């Protein structure tokens, strides 16, 4: 039985660990809030008291936390990953973070005799549950080849895009695209609702034509059910868009549509919906997210 260490069992991490357990892996887990691991422990996962302890007991370690600051803490903190001996070990960060931080982690891992990959994912909670995630990887070919069998268990699309940090740059490109589809999808529903169209019928029709996209097919039906539970948190999407805009600025690149999406999600967060799913953007048009209560 193969051993894997996994740090971060939130919405996405929990689903990934569940799939690893289901596929016969022995998974050691750590999460900042221990109670969020209870269900996984019942399934057979092994609790560890710190990232340091987890690394000491495993050769392959995955991390999936919320923000770059969380990544910093997990890797460089008091009982963090780099407090353990990482020689001969592979560290894989699935968090969407900054390219600079990915490079910092890879450099220190290499200095200590280990390897590291930045491997942010796309596909939301459904992709994590169904093991259909898209995984965008940066790092050395040797490390990628060794981790590939695990990527095949948790995802359906995975590519090495270059050296450390390039996985994060690819994820930024992904989030720039998603920013457009999410704003387009919510404005589509707001318009169709204002025109008194049958929204379910509109989604079905548009999903069969050139306007078809993942956001409409997956989040449109949730919106109609007034289901705003997070497959992906608003607060995390804001973080991603801020990283994308910051990286674009470093390259003297203007992204006006992405900036507009960032500002809309910031407004949504300020109205109290930071912990909703990204489909909650419709609440800027519909009071409480209900199509029967339109905002003027």
| Residues annotated as part of the active site | 171
How far, in Å, CA of 205 to CA of 33, rounded? 43
**DSSP assignment letter at 64:** -
Question: What are the angstrom distances between the C-alpha of 134 and each of 37, 63, 267?
Answer: 24, 16, 29
Question: What are the angstrom distances between the C-alpha of 149 and each of 25, 153, 240?
Answer: 12, 7, 28
**DSSP assignment letter at 37:** G
**DSSP assignment letter at 273:** I
Backbone angles phi, psi at 127, to 5 degrees: -65, -40
Strands 121-122 and 133-137, sheet pairing = antiparallel
How far, in Å, CA of 1 to CA of 122, rounded? 28
Residues forming a β-bridge with 253: none
17: closest CA among 34, 37, 35? 37
Neighbours of 82 (CB within 10 A): 20
Tokens in use for 137? 């990887």
How far, in Å, CA of 14 to CA of 19, rounded? 9
């Amino acid at each position: 039985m193969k051993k894997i260490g996994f740090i971060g069992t939130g919405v996405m991490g929990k689903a990934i660990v569940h799939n690893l357990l289901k596929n016969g892996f022995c998974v050691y887990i750590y999460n900042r809030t221990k109670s969020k691991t209870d269900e996984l422990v019942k399934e057979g996962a092994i609790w560890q008291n710190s990232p340091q302890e987890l690394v000491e007991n495993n050769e392959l370690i995955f991390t999936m936390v919320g923000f770059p600051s969380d990544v910093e803490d997990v890797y460089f903190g008091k009982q963090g990953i780099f407090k353990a001996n990482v020689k001969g070990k592979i560290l894989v960060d699935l968090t969407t973070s900054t390219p600079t931080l990915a490079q910092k982690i890879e450099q220190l891992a290499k200095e200590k005799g280990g390897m590291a990959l930045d491997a942010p994912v796309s596909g939301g909670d459904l992709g994590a549950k169904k093991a259909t995630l898209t995984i965008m990887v940066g790092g050395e070919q040797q490390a990628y080849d060794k981790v590939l069998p695990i990527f095949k268990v948790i995802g359906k699309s995975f590519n090495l895009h270059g050296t450390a940090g390039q996985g994060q740059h690819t994820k930024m490109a992904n989030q720039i695209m998603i920013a457009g589809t999410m704003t387009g999808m919510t404005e589509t529903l707001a318009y169709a609702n204002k025109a008194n169209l049958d929204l379910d019928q509109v989604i079905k029709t548009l999903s069969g034509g050139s306007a078809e996209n993942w956001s409409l097919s997956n989040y449109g039906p949730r919106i109609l059910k007034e289901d705003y539970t997070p497959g992906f948190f608003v607060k995390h999407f804001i973080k991603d868009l801020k990283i994308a805009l910051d990286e674009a600025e470093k390259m003297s690149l203007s992204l006006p549509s992405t900036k507009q999406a960032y500002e809309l999600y910031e407004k949504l967060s300020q109205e109290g919906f930071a912990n909703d799913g990204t489909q909650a953007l419709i609440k800027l048009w519909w009071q409480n997210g209900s199509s029967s209560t339109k905002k003027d």
